[in-house]
Amino acid sequence: MDGIKDKVKEKYGRVALSQESCCMPGECGCGTPGQAAEAIGYDAKELESVPQESILGAGCGAPLNFAELREGETVVDLGSGAGIDVFLSANKVGRSGRVIGIDMTDEMLAKAKNNAKGGYPNVEFRRGDIEEHIPVGDGTADVVISNCVINLTVDKARAFSEVRRILKDGGRMVISDMVTDRPAASVDPEKWCSCIDGALTKDDYVASIKKAGFANVTVLEERPYIDESDGRKIASIVVKAVK
């Protein structure tokens, strides 16, 4: 997997600078980022309430539809991109709550911080690689969310173990991600960066979460995404698990 992480950073750096769209291969015609977000479950009215530049159309589901955020909660969003789910979460947890977005791509962080300017005192963006160390203290978060990011990591087990570390006891992880019916025979770095070739099977994904020590691991939603030319069926799932 040499060089994959640098390629992921390069790709999402270009996406942040609007030099490349986030459409998956074969998905031409996905429309504006707002339309792409609505197609994966975001509410059009709620999208109007966040900075429009935070909407990249880069997710693969809408984890906040399942996270049941409450006023005052602390939320951490892994691979926060330009901040869409951070800002939506901030609107839900209110001034007594707080939301921390984590991303490893400098251009994304700069874009997200710019989007937060002026309006979001309870929001913070931090630089971090979630499969090395999430820059958040032990037992801090009530909720960890993530949208289409874990598949981009090489060491998913390490990422899940880091999520568990930063959650409070009883805290929940609610994430959208891509899965496949069988792994790629050989990895194409471009397809890894497009959230395809790094995808695990659903069984391996769930097993990896359980191995990290989570309880009540539940797949809440599953949608077919695309069929690859080699016959692999790629789907998006929303998974919830509890520490």
Ligand X SMILES: C[S@@+](CC[C@H](N)C(=O)[O-])C[C@H]1O[C@@H](n2cnc3c(N)ncnc32)[C@H](O)[C@@H]1O
Which parts of this chain interact with ligand X (CB under 6 A)? 8, 12, 56, 58-59, 79-81, 84, 102-105, 108, 129-131, 147-149, 152-153, 195
Q: In degrees rounded to 5, what are phi and psi of residue 96?
A: -85, -10
Q: Cβ 223 to ligand X, closest distance in Å?
A: 15
Q: Cβ 187 to ligand X, closest distance in Å?
A: 15
Q: Cβ 131 to ligand X, closest distance in Å?
A: 5
Of 16, 202, 191, the closest CA to residue 103 belongs to: 16
- For 80-110, letters b (16+ CB in 10 Å) and e give bbbbbbbbbbbebbeeebbbbbbbbbebbbe
Q: By C-beta, is 105 or 122 nearer to ligand X?
A: 105
Dist CA 9 CA 103 (whole Å):
10
Distance of CA 125 to the CA centre of its chain: 14
Q: By C-beta, is 76 or 148 nearer to ligand X?
A: 148
Q: Cβ 105 to ligand X, closest distance in Å?
A: 3
Q: By C-beta, is 72 or 129 nearer to ligand X?
A: 129
Residue 167 parent element (H or E):
strand 167-180
Q: By C-beta, is 74 or 105 nearer to ligand X?
A: 105
